[in-house]
Amino acid sequence: MAAAAAVVVDNMSEDQAMIELSDMTKVYNIGTIDVHALDGVSMSIHRGEMVAIMGASGSGKSTLMNVLGCLDVPSSGRYMLDGLEVGALSGNQLAEIRNRKIGFVFQTYNLLPRLTAQANVELPLLYGAGNDRKRRASEALDRVGLSDRTNHKPTELSGGQQQRVGIARALVKDPSILLADEPTGNLDSRSSAEIMEILMELNRDEGRTVIIVTHEPDIAAQAPRVITMRDGVIVSDGPPETLGQGATAAAGEAQQ
């Protein structure tokens, strides 16, 4: 008889942060060298927030995204997600959390080229949704304004339309968190504005927690809260008006 699947139960009170990091580190061992990708990161994100995490290449933002998305676990410190300590969960439990709670949006869309938009959005529902998956996929595509492109393949869609399919795929299982990795990185300015408007609407109108990882200040500035990273640490955390202040302060300290 097959073993029963592990069930992850939320232990979160109403006033508790949805995401809480405490002195979290992530260290990669490369030969004899320890690379500290995250070095004592502490922060919290509440349900319904829209947050941009910004930083240059090598700042630690991609590592932080992987940990927030339960694709990796901390080396030390603590990551609490809905009252659960992520570092203490098994691989199967992490997969269950990703499946239930987190919708991923990728810079390169990650669509299967031989499938239509409808079929790409249905993919996360292949197991367990039954006959309901076509309706749910259609509703998700309608939510991002692509109800007239359901039978188009990725090669028949613009970059902005492909990213809309990617967002619809992330939405189809009704996750509480949308985690978008450089969602406008491959788009022109007009398509970038359209994608950001969709993400802001999902946050504003549906109360979804939206976390955007980007290296573009103009994209980050559209979020009410911007976390800036440098060398594996948070150097600023506040409204977009504070953009650059943390980096300036860090540079000043380095010169002293």
The whole-number pLDDT of residue 4 equals 43
The whole-number pLDDT of residue 13 equals 53
The whole-number pLDDT of residue 127 equals 76
pTM over 0.75: yes
Dihedral angle over CA of 152, 176, 96, 57, nearest 10: 80
Which residue ranges in the chain fall short of pLDDT 50?
Answer: 1-7, 247-256
222 contacts 239 by C-beta, under 8 angstroms: no
Mind listing the pLDDT tens digit for each residue in 64-107?
A: 999 999 999 999 999 999 999 999 999 999 999 999 999 999 99
Mind listing the pLDDT tens digit for each residue in 153-177?
A: 999 999 999 999 999 999 999 999 9
Handedness of CA 142, 147, 152, 158 (dihedral sign): negative
Tokens read off for 232:
């594996």
Encode 80-107 in three state secondary structure: EECCEEHHHCCHHHHHHHHHHHEEEECC
The whole-number pLDDT of residue 252 equals 44
